[in-house]
Amino acid sequence: MHYRSLLVFLFFLFSSLTIAQVDRNPPVTIIDAQHYSHVFGEMRNYRIFLPNDYYELHEEYPVIYFMHGWSQRYFGSGPDAYSEYDQKDDNGGDNIEKFVSNHRVIVVKSDGYNRSKDEEYYLRPYNVGPVETHRQFPIYFEELIHHIDREYRTLTDRGHRAISGLSMGGFMSFFIGGKYPHLFSAVGSFCGSPEFVIGPKDMPVEYRHMDLFRNYDGVNVRLHYGDQDFIRGYHEDLNRVWLYTMDHYSFKIFPGDEHTTSGLGEMFEFLYSTFQDPPEKPANWTHTDIYPEFEVWNYQVISDRNQPGFTTLENVNPLGFTSTVQEFLPDGPMLSNVNLSVLTDAIYKKHTPYIITGYNAQNNSWSQESILSDQYGRLKIQLNGARNHIGINYGTDVPNIVLLKPVVENNPWAQAGKEVRLSLRLLNKGLAESGDLQIRLTAESEAINFIQNETTCSSIDARSDRKSSSPIIFQVREPDAEMIRLTLHISNGDHNWTEDFEIPLKPEASNLDDYQIADGATFVVAKGGNEVDTLLIGRGNGDGVPNPGESIEVLVKDQDVFRRTLVTANSACINPDGINIRESDYWGRYDHVGGSAKYSVLTIGSQCNASEPIPLFLQYWLPDRPLHIIKRGTISISVVGRDETPPEIRWTDMTGKNLLQVKVHDSAPVKSVTGTFLAKNKSSFMVTLNDEGQAGDRVKSDGVFSVVCPPQSFDFYQLTLELEDIYGNKSRREIKEPFVLHH
């Protein structure tokens, strides 16, 4: 070899060895690894960031989990890169590698990829918006945590575990952190999407973080976004609720930033600092879950729900809880036909009888039974999906007081900036008279100014309720607040009870003149942000006048097109018996976020003939790319005429036990529901359904008509339903999807 060539060769050899030596000692050890997932039935990838001396020392570390955004993977961005944040110069040096190099912490970056090997490569992760596969990333994430804790030296308590994410990963970090508050002490989101369709493939729900603030009790929460981020309007919507309902929530806006990991080190510092002083499990906790079965804070919930919905355990403590199963949040109708089983934490005496009292707010009924705790000190309580106030009583000489209902007395709704007079109806779910009660309200938010925060209530008999003697009076100083959280303190001198509750607020709004009642007529309406469509809207005679029994929408003319509105009403004439229909207008094709504008379908009571106008509060969106403008106003409507609107079917379902269930929507009592099944071989039979709580029907008068069909040879059957209400209004509907019946 020529001498000069030899020198060049030795130079490059030495250089490569030096570089290799440097690469063998980076400030952080970054490993791309995988593990087998039983949830997904396949190998799953992740990237883990370990401190450089992880393999030299033998200490245990806290863990921050990170969830990437759209078009990204565990190893980095795909073809549409918009935010790099792993190592070296990514994110201007403010990245995961830099943070781990300066902190005693492990960071795990999971893979949100949502396709199998033989499917076309797909950029949208996590199986959200819409749900397209059976992959359930929230369920998988608990499995990932167990794997990391088993394979690496981690501090395995919730106080040393946090989660964060970007964009769609920010949505998922909020979702997972709220689903598992017993696994995480802190949650962070960078520019997280505010709403997505998520859940089991056959029953997905629209999930809005705005409604789920109580899921984060006992968790520190933070949001980062830029003032040029195309999602920022939704973050502003979130802040109008979370700032006044969570005392452990903070956010930061970064000037000039768009959709990226703004202030990554600052966010991670927030999560890391939580490890030094993690919040404790709350004494009273509330949790809402979209899955029919779930576990939280050592409580296990099992149900047979097979429709989209939300199960909530509210104000849970050793004295009991309140449970609901709803179609949507925050005020969706109850799915009372659902069977619910709640297994408590092991906090009671073992093999000991407890008296369980239950008040069903839907049908105003009480139940009482004795349940023996198991060998661990747990209680198994069987319920239905209605709003049930459950009292757990040991002994017969102690009252058990909870809030049944707060009522705004001086206006149709509570309004920010104006005096609110709030009366409180209390419930005694104990076994003894309460004695006279002293009541006091407090609030964490400084926006709430109490004018009178104390009142009293006369003694309440066991299994009874009573209204407070005088109202609580307060004013909310923040005009943008849409929800406030209050803490109720009750005492009879010997016992004390504390619980939290929320009051929705409406801002000041002017009267609207250019509106139309849609009760079965055709209109050109806005949809999807910047589109229009011609639709038949409402159910009724189409004359534009609210009549008893009709289902109406209120349309507002704005920018030369009708807008569908979300309506708040406080009248017995509107949505009687828990009826409440809310629909969604998806804006994702316009603003690429995943949210939707909500609008109401109001049901007029069949016996309503209002002598005075009914006030309504309206809300709708206007496009302002990439944002949305929220417009509000008030109107009053009068109801005249009689009910000429037939019953309507909301959904049908057949269980494996040949139990047919039909949800009927009608403001009048329904006289009859009959079904005719036609098999492929043209044989047929008829059934009569009931809503009497018998012959297969689970709950009386809940609008779900049921029948156990007689045994049949295995076949596919088409179903035709005929319905009639007490006024003789009839309807007929053929169900397109076939039903399977069997012996």
Domain boundaries in the chain?
Answer: 28-276, 291-393, 401-504, 515-637, 648-741
Q: 301 with 342: CB under 8 angstroms?
A: yes
pLDDT digits over 510-521, tens only? Answer: 999 999 999 999
CA distance 520 to 159: 56
Query: Across 505-545, where does the E strand assignment appear?
Result: 515-518, 521-527, 531-537
Please check whether the domain covering 648-741 is classified as CATH 3.50.50.60: no
The answer to whether the CB of 483 falls within 8 A of the CB of 505 is: yes
Domains 401-504 and 648-741 equal at CATH topology level: yes
Which pLDDT value is given to residue 26?
67
Query: Could you report the per-residue pLDDT of 2-58, keeping only the tens digit for each?
Result: 444 443 343 334 333 333 333 445 689 999 999 999 999 999 999 999 999 999 988
CA gap 207, 168 in Å, rounded: 13
H/E run at residue 177: helix 168-179
Q: Which of 302-306, 565-569, 607-611, 629-633 has the lowest mean pLDDT?
A: 607-611
Which residues on adjacent β-strands are paired with residue 454? 440
Please check the confidence at residue 243 and state whether its pLDDT lies above 60: yes
pLDDT digits (tens, 9 = 90+) for 109-145: 999 999 888 888 888 999 998 999 999 999 999 999 9
Separation between Cα atoms, residue 677 and residue 735, nearest integer Å: 10
Mean pLDDT value of segment 457-486: 97
**Tokens representing 659?**
């139990």
- Tens digits of residue pLDDT in 548-571: 999 999 999 999 999 999 999 999
Amino acid at 78: G
Q: What is the mean pLDDT of the chain?
A: 93
Q: By the 8 A CB rule, do 376 and 352 touch?
A: no
Mean pLDDT across the stretch 227-240?
96
Q: Pull the structure tokens for residue 102.
A: 């300066």
Burial class (CB in 10 A: 0-12, 13-18, 19+), 714: exposed
Contacts of 591 (CB under 8 A, 6+ apart): 230, 529, 625, 626, 627, 628
pLDDT band at 586 (very low <50, low <70, confident <90, very high): very high
C-beta of residue 438 within 8 angstroms of C-beta of residue 472:
no
8-state DSSP, 210: G
| pLDDT the model gives residue 81 | 80
CA 24 to CA 12: how far, in whole Å? 18
Are residues 670 and 354 in contact, defined by beta-carbon separation less than 8 angstroms? Answer: no
Q: So what's the pLDDT on residue 6?
A: 41
For the domain 28-276, what is the CATH superfamily, name and number? Alpha/Beta hydrolase fold, catalytic domain (3.40.50.1820)
Q: Per CATH, which fold does 401-504 belong to?
A: Immunoglobulin-like (2.60.40)
pLDDT at 78 over 80: no
pLDDT, position 117: 82
Q: Which two tokens stand for residue 520?
A: 């079965």
pLDDT tens column, 653-692: 998 788 999 999 999 999 999 999 999 888 899 999 999 9
Q: Between 79 and 642, where is the model more confident? A: 642
- What is the predicted pLDDT for the residue at 25? 52
Which has the closest alpha carbon to 516: 541, 553, 548, 547? 553
Please name every residue paired with 496 in a beta bridge, in sequence order, or none if there are none: 491
Of 19 and 199, the structure prediction assigns the larger pLDDT to 199
Tell whether the model's pLDDT for residue 149 goes beyond 90: yes
In tens, the pLDDT along 451-471 reads 999 999 999 999 999 999 999
Greatest Cα-to-Cα distance within the chain, rounded to the nearest angstrom: 108
Q: Is the pLDDT of residue 415 over 90?
A: yes
**Looking at residue 614, what is its pLDDT?**
95
| Angstrom distance (rounded) from CA 673 to CA 663 | 11
351: left (phi over 0), alpha (psi -120 to 50) or beta: left
The pLDDT, as a whole number, for residue 112 is: 96
Q: How confident is the model at residue 192 (pLDDT cuts 50, 70, 90)?
A: very high
Under 8 Å CB-to-CB from 291, ≥6 apart: which residues?
Answer: 138, 139, 199, 200, 311
Task: Tell me the DSSP string of 442-504.
Answer: E-S-TTEEEEE-EEEE----TTEEEE-SS-EEEEE--TT--EEEEEEEEE-SS-EEEEEEEEE
Alpha helical stretches, state H, 45-136 = 96-101
Q: What average pLDDT does range 394-413 have in this prediction?
A: 93
**Higher-confidence position of 637 and 713:** 637
Q: List the structure tokens of 551.
A: 């289902």
Q: Please provide residue 697's backbone torsions phi and psi, each rounded to the nearest 5 degrees.
A: -75, 135
**Inter-residue long-range contacts of 121-124, CB under 8 Å, 24+ positions, other chains counted:** 123/70, 123/71, 123/78, 123/79, 123/80, 124/70, 124/168
Residues 133 and 270: their CA atoms lie apart, in Å, by: 35
Of the listed ranges 216-230, 288-302, 373-387, 710-724, the one predicted with least confidence: 710-724
Phi, psi for 615 (deg, rounded to 5)? -75, 140
The pLDDT score that the predictor gives to residue 669 is: 95
Q: Cβ distance 338 to 312 under 8 Å?
A: no
Classified as helix, coil or strand, 246 is: coil
Q: What is the mean pLDDT of residues 182-195?
A: 97
Query: What phi, psi does 376 have (nearest 5°)?
Result: -100, -10
The tokens describing 323, both together, are: 């449970």
| Cα separation values, 4 from 8, 10, 563, Å | 6, 10, 80
